[in-house]
Each structure stands twice: as C-alpha cells, then as structure tokens.
Amino acid sequence: MNPGELRNLVEIQILDNQSDEMGGEVQNWSTSYMAWAKIEPSSNYFYAHFQESGKERLRITIRYLDLNMDKVRIQYRNKNYKINSFDNPDLKNEYLVIDCEEE
C-alpha cells in the first residue's frame, strides 16, 4: 500500500470503566490513539441493506495496532463507527483493514 493513501485522521476509542461519585461504575469512551487512515465505502454484499437503513458502512485501513477489538470503536468526522470485522492482511502486522458501520 502507498502510505500517501493514509490521509484521513481517525480516532481509535476504547471503552473504559470508571468510578462515579456514588461508588458505581460508569462506562465512557476515551480516545486512545489517533491514526491516519484510508477510508473507502464497504463493498460487502450486505451493503444494500445498510444503505436502506441509512447507516454508513466503511472499510478503514490503518497501520497495525495490537488492540483488543471487543471494546473499540472508531470516530471519523464526528461520527462513531462500530467495528464488525477486521483483518491483518497476510499476517504481516503492517496494516489493519476494518469493516465498520455507523452507530
């Protein structure tokens, strides 16, 4: 991949458990990483379904990060995207290709 294609800045947010004033736990999203990304529409065959529902579906490529993807979301242009799947092409730990949809 040409590194010049990574020209969109995205925020990688992680869900944290924090204590509130009453001693309970509150879940908050906090930005853990800022990453340059290649953004393109998803070409998945479910795309038509999501297009009808009004949710934007994207394929985002970033440099490799070792993350637990269970509690991660991506913020791009003030929109939050839920991660549906991700791939580490050729298992080279160079890039992550993430399929996600707008929350």
pLDDT digits (tens, 9 = 90+) for 78-88: 999 999 999 99
Domains of the chain, residue spans: 3-102
* pLDDT tens figures, 8-51: 999 999 999 888 888 888 899 999 999 999 999 886 545 555 55
With 0-12 CB in 10 A as exposed, 13-18 as middle and 19+ as buried, what is 85? exposed
Place of tokens 């929350």: 103
| pLDDT for the residue numbered 48 | 55
Name the nearest CA neighbour of 66 among 42, 89, 95, 99: 95
Query: Class for domain 3-102, per CATH?
Result: mainly beta
